[in-house]
Every structure is written in structure tokens, then in C-alpha cells.
Structure 1
Amino acid sequence: MIALPTAVRETVCERAREGRPEEICGVLSGEYEPEGRSRVRSQYPAENVAETPRTRYEIDPEEQLAIFDRLEDRGEEIVGFYHSHPRGPPRPSATDTAQATWPDRSYLIVSLEPLEIGSWRWRTGSEDAAEADDRFEREKLVVE
């Protein structure tokens, strides 16, 4: 489960509306629990540097490291990431699944048509590629 403050939800949704038709993205920080309830405290917006930002998102690695340093300085942990699907559903796309790299973290997705938010945890299977069962699992999202 992930707990999301109303103010963070509103900020992320507003960024998604303003960023349309391109996907927006950023980092969620707060209290991280791999198997329990993570609680978001802050969101850190990032520039989408993907080659095709209307259908993909990518956070510049240097900007991502700078965000990680800022949230660490504030005593927060990486809870997960967020991005928008301006014309798609609030669930991971095939590209999202192929590019996920942070096991057990939350991936919050904002859909704009209609406005809806979904949250998913990235789970990894065996390290043996033949046995790997990497997948997103839907998680309960509680807005506080």
C-alpha cells in the first residue's frame, strides 16, 4: 500500500495537465516499506528527456542523482516514481514494464482521459533470465 498526501496528488495531477500532450515524470520520497505501507512525503519533479516524450518518459541520470541527494539530505527515502499517460490508462505500459529498474518501489501513473491515478509495485523474480518473473503488481493507493 502507498499513502499519498492530497497536496502531492494535486501537484502531480496539475503537472500532468500542464505537461499534456507530453508525459511528465518525477520521484516520490518519504518512508519506504518494501512489503508494507510506504508513505509519500514529497515529490520531486524531473524533466522528461525521452526522445519521444509524448509516449515515453525518462529522467536524466544526473538530475535523478541530484534529486536523490536532496531527498537524502532531508532524511527521506526513495518511495518510487511517477509519470503520466496523457492518452492512456493508469497502468504500466509494455515500455514501462521493460524499463522498470527499481524493485519493490512504487510507480504512480496519472491518466488524463479520464483523470485517474493508479499505483503499482515493481516485483522481480529469479536472477536466472529463463526463470525471471518480473512484473508490476497493483497496490492500494490511499489519499490522505
Structure 2
Amino acid sequence: MTPDPELVVPTAIRDVILERARDGRPEEICGVFGGEYDPDGRSRVRSQYPADNVAETPRTRYRINPEAQLELFDRLEERGEEIVGFYHSHPRGPPRPSETDVAQATWPDRSYLIVSLEPREVGSWRWREDEDAGRFERERLVLE
């Protein structure tokens, strides 16, 4: 039996992301997680790489510039890390994926951590692809 997916995040990294989300309000903030990746089990965040939100409507969407994203991937690879997933904020929404998040998710089995400021909560989800479509699956968030 496959264990339920988990994302382990150091409390210090969670706190940095919350602070970035507060400072970035009313726009969404975003970034990439590096660390140890397990497609079905426990992934562990070792570092976070902030990215500029280049979406046309940054108050309700996030987008990482593809070239900047590749640079971030190169940096974490140089440090011996794997791509664990992504994070972004919902300054005025819940800590769960929006319809836009579902439509734009492209990294199977990676974690998508969402920070909500109203209410102040953090949720984590794994993107799963089926034959016909994709969906987010809730994953356990473990702070350490």
C-alpha cells in the first residue's frame, strides 16, 4: 500500500513564505521548492527559491517567467537538490487550488503549497494526472 503523500517543510521556510506573502499583498507571490522528491510518499523541502510573479493579473494569478524558472532549476540542481514543487499565495482566497491553478498545473506528482492570508492558513496538494485529465490530491503538511 502506498503511503499518503506528505510534504515536509522547515518552519523557518514556511515563515519566510508567509512574510513574503504578507509583503507582496495584494499580489500573489510564487517560487520553487528544492530538496528531496518522492513522487508518492514523503517529499522534503530543503530550500525555497523566490520568483517574480509575471502574470498579467498578479492579484489573481501567478506565473513564473519560463527562463527564470529554468535558472532556478539549474541553481537547485547545482546544489544537488531535486524539484520538490512550487508555492504561491492566495492573498484573499482559501489555501486550496483554484480553477486556474488546476488549469495551469503541469508538474505531475509535485507539491503545490498554497498560502492563504485571509484566513492565514497553508495547504499542500499533489498534482496527479489521469488518462483523461489532472487533479489535485490533498497531501499532509508536516512542519519541522
TM-score (norm: length of structure 1): 0.96
> Gaps spanning 5+ residues in structure 2: where?
1-5
The 3-state SS of whatever aligns with 1:40 is: strand
Residue in structure 2 matched with residue 70 of structure 1 by the alignment = 75
Residue in structure 1 matched with residue 141 of structure 2 by the alignment = 141
Structure 1 residue 42 displacement after superposition: 0.2
Tell me, yes or no, if structure 1 residue 102 matches structure 2 residue 81. no
Q: Distance in 2 between matches of 1:96 and 1:16?
A: 17
Q: What are the within-5 Å matches in structure 2 for residues 5-44 of structure 1?
A: 5-44=10-49
Tell me, yes or no, if structure 1 residue 123 matches structure 2 residue 124. no
Across the aligned residues of Structure 1 and Structure 2, the Cα RMSD in angstroms comes to 0.4
Structure 1 residue 133 displacement after superposition: 3.5
The 3-state SS of whatever aligns with 1:18 is: helix
Q: Which runs of 4+ in 1 moved over 2 A?
A: none
Q: Distance in 2 between matches of 1:133 and 1:45?
A: 29
Q: Distance in 1 between matches of 2:135 and 2:129?
A: 7
Number of equivalences = 139
> Gaps spanning 5+ residues in structure 1: where?
127-131
Structure 1 residue 112 displacement after superposition: 0.0
Q: Distance in 1 between matches of 2:25 and 2:133?
A: 33
Residue in structure 1 matched with residue 63 of structure 2 by the alignment = 58
Deviations 1:40-96 (A, max 9, x none): 000000000000000000000010000000000000000000000000000000000
Q: Distance in 2 between matches of 1:118 and 1:101?
A: 18
